[in-house]
């Protein structure tokens, strides 16, 4: 059986050749135009980034190396005894474009488990932080501190050659992904359950099996399976989203993967991006409190209008690229349908009812280009049902997941020798001058 590194070694030359050919034969081909609206509108719609692992179609949603979410659910190996694809299987696909065998996926799990414990100074750092510091800030700090042991940074200082960059980057990326569960679980324990002892990394478990175990939910196989699906699904969403783009931008300066991904986490921590899943649950709970037991179509509709009229966005709805319901939302909803206890859960029912009503209200409101639910509309309610009720923590789980895609691209950026990212900017005066000429 080939290892992950051996598989990558095999696929890299063809990609390098493809890049060389694109540069040589099509450098001057035009793929779109830059309008003033792109410059003023957060670069929305601008085709300006290279990203290998996934492409987001506005109508059908994400594909990972051409595979849709249902395709991935069919072909990517689950954990022993489980049904949902593992984070390792998704990581393998993202990195290599190939579907791993169950054996390869298990080997990767074993490799990550061996690397999974945190260095002592990082546990000390995290333990010294106040409980009141947002869990995302703590995660970003912990990830940045792990750069103490960056192999890429050390090798760069020694003066390695460019073609060797990717191997050290891969080592850092795997080390970081391996350590995220212990780091994220430690933050959870410290902030919410300081009385609990922390499990250490179990060498026989997959990454998410360990994460669930360290969070204190190891006995709940349903939640562990949900987390596997959640983490695989959130792994990558092409390159332009704020967290992935941040990792790419910072990484393009040859910052090591730890500090590049730390920066990405702080982009994920914003309410228009990853923090939305915390906001969704807060908002749905407030709706539940206000409506009480009398949940009707009209009551939900009124609450939606109340939110919009107060000038707030409806969290979990809309998207920068997508123009249809998010297939990640659909996959997580399907998970709910397979389990009677989830179907009976009041909060899950409320999320489902809201998803039936909100699109029409948002259409009538007439602002958002996409009135449909995104993944954040539903991702938190299953966690809540199974007892992971601290929704301030939810973006941390997203942060554990998004490492799969953002770090994959860092490996590819080094393997392809991608340059420093440096777009051109204009002041409004300069722009007006440009338009006149
Ligand atoms: N509720 C109310 N208004 C919304 C809206 C929503 N859910 N989504 C968009 N709008 C508004 C925008 O605020 C904007 O209004 P202004 O013109 O007054 O500024 C207008 O509709 C046009 O926005 P858009 O082009 O449709 O959306 P953007 O690409 O600018 O923004 C997003 C995308 C996700 C930030 C936005 O839809 C939003 O704020 N949604 C709610 C937060 C959310 O769910 N975020 C999670 C996204 C997924 C993720 O990254 O994790």
d(CA 170, CA 144): 17
pLDDT in the model for residue 278: 85
Q: Between β-strands 54-57 and 61-64, what pairing exists: parallel, antiparallel or unpaired? A: antiparallel
- First-to-last C-alpha distance (Å) of the chain: 61
Q: Is the pLDDT confidence value at 208 over 90?
A: yes
Whether 320 lines ligand 1, by a CB cut-off of 6 Å, is: yes
Please give the C-alpha separations between residue 139 and each of 31, 259, 402, in angstroms, as whole numbers. Answer: 38, 12, 13
Average pLDDT (81-86) is 96
Helix (H, G, I), strand (E, B) or coil at 227: helix
pTM of this prediction? Answer: 0.96
Average pLDDT (273-286) is 90
Q: Where are the domains of the chain?
A: 1-15+42-275+390-437, 276-385
Residue of 313, 322, 364 to mutate, ligand 1, most atoms within 8 A of C-beta: 313
293 confidence band (pLDDT: 50, 70, 90): confident
Q: Is the pLDDT confidence value at 275 over 90?
A: no
Q: In the structure encoding, which two tokens stand for residue 84, read together?
A: 């949902």
- Give ipTM to 2 decimals: 0.98
pLDDT tens across 339-369, in order? 999 999 999 999 999 999 999 999 999 999 9
Counts for the chain of helices (H) and strands (E), in that order = 21, 2
Whether 241 lines ligand 1, by a CB cut-off of 6 Å, is: yes
pLDDT tens across 22-73, in order? 999 999 999 999 999 999 999 999 999 999 999 999 999 999 999 999 999 9
Q: Is the pLDDT confidence value at 123 over 90?
A: yes
Q: How far is the CA of 351 from the centre of ligand 1 (A)?
A: 19
pLDDT tens across 305-328, in order? 999 999 999 999 999 999 999 999
CATH number at 1-15+42-275+390-437: 1.10.580.10
Active site residue 273: yes
Residue-averaged pLDDT of the chain: 96
Helix (H, G, I), strand (E, B) or coil at 256: coil
pLDDT tens across 257-273, in order? 999 999 999 999 998 88
DSSP string for residues in 107-162: HHHHHHHHT-SPPHHHHHHHHHS-TTS-HHHHHHHHHHHGGGG-HHHHHHHHT--G
d(CA 71, CA 269): 30
Q: Could you identify the residue written with the tokens 């073609």?
A: 163
Nearest-CA residue for atom 9 of ligand 1? 368
Q: Is the pLDDT confidence value at 276 over 90?
A: no
The CATH topology of domain 276-385 is Cytochrome p450-Terp; domain 2 (1.10.230)
Backbone angles phi and psi of 403, in degrees to 5:
-55, -35
Q: How far is the CA of 371 from the centre of ligand 1 (A)?
A: 9
Q: In the structure encoding, which two tokens stand for residue 373, read together?
A: 């639910």
pLDDT in the model for residue 198: 96
294 confidence band (pLDDT: 50, 70, 90): confident
Average pLDDT (425-436) is 96
Q: Which residues contact 182 (CB under 8 A, 6 or more apart)?
A: 116, 117, 118, 201, 210, 214
Average pLDDT (128-133) is 98
Report which secondary-structure segment, H or E, holds 350. Answer: helix 346-365
Residues forming a β-bridge with 85: 78
Active site residue 365: no
Active site residue 297: no
Average pLDDT (86-91) is 98
Ligand 1: nearest atom to the Cα of 42: 30
Average pLDDT (134-160) is 98
Q: Which residues contact 104 (CB under 8 A, 6 or more apart)?
A: 1, 2, 3, 4, 7, 92
Q: In the structure encoding, which two tokens stand for residue 181, read together?
A: 């569960």
Neighbours of 28 (CB within 10 A): 5
- Could you check whether 1-15+42-275+390-437 and 276-385 share the same CATH topology? no
Average pLDDT (77-88) is 97
pLDDT in the model for residue 58: 94
Q: Could you identify the residue written with the tokens 């990405």?
A: 264
């Amino acid at each position: 059986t080939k290892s992950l590194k051996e598989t990558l070694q095999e696929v890299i030359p063809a990609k390098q050749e493809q890049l060389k050919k694109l540069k040589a034969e099509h450098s001057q081909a035009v793929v779109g135009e830059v309008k003033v609206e792109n410059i003023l509108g957060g670069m929305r719609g601008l085709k300006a980034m290279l990203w290998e692992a996934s492409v987001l179609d506005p109508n059908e949603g994400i594909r990972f190396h051409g595979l849709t979410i249902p395709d991935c659910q069919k072909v990517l190996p689950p954990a022993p005894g489980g049904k949902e694809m593992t984070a390792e299987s998704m990581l393998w696909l993202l990195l290599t474009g190939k579907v791993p065998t169950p054996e390869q996926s298990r080997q990767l799990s074993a490799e990550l488990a061996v690397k999974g414990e945190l260095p002592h100074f990082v546990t000390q750092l995290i333990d010294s932080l106040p409980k009141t510091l947002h869990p995302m800030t703590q995660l970003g700090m912990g990830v940045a501190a792990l750069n103490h042991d960056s192999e890429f940074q050390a090798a760069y200082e020694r003066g390695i050659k460019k073609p060797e960059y990717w191997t050290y980057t891969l080592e850092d990326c795997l080390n970081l992904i391996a350590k995220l569960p212990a780091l994220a679980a430690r933050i959870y324990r410290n902030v919410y359950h300081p009385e609990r002892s922390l499990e250490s990394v179990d060498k026989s478990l997959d990454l998410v099996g360990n994460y669930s175990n360290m969070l204190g939910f190891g006995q709940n196989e349903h939640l562990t399976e949900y987390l596997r699906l959640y983490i695989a699904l959130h792994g990558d969403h092409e390159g332009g989203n704020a967290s992935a783009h941040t990792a790419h931008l910072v990484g393009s300066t040859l910052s090591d993967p730890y500090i590049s991904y730390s920066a990405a986490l702080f982009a994920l921590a914003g309410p228009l991006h990853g923090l939305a899943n915390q906001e969704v649950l807060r908002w749905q709970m407030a709706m539940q409190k206000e409506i009480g037991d009398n949940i009707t179509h009209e009551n939900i509709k009124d609450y939606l209008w109340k939110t919009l009229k107060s000038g707030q966005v409806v969290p979990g709805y809309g998207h920068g690229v997508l123009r249809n319901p998010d297939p990640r939302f659909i996959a997580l909803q399907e998970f709910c349908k397979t389990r009677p206890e989830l179907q009976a859960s009041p909060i899950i029912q409320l999320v489902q009812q809201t998803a039936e009503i909100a699109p029409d209200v948002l259409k009538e409101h007439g602002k958002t280009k996409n009135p449909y639910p995104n993944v954040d509309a539903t991702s938190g309610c299953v966690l809540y049902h199974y007892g992971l009720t601290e929704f301030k923590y939810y973006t941390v789980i997203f942060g554990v997941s998004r490492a799969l895609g953002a770090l994959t691209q860092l490996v590819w950026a080094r393997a392809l020798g991608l340059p420093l990212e440096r777009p051109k900017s204009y002041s409004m005066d300069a722009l007006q001058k440009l338009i006149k000429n």
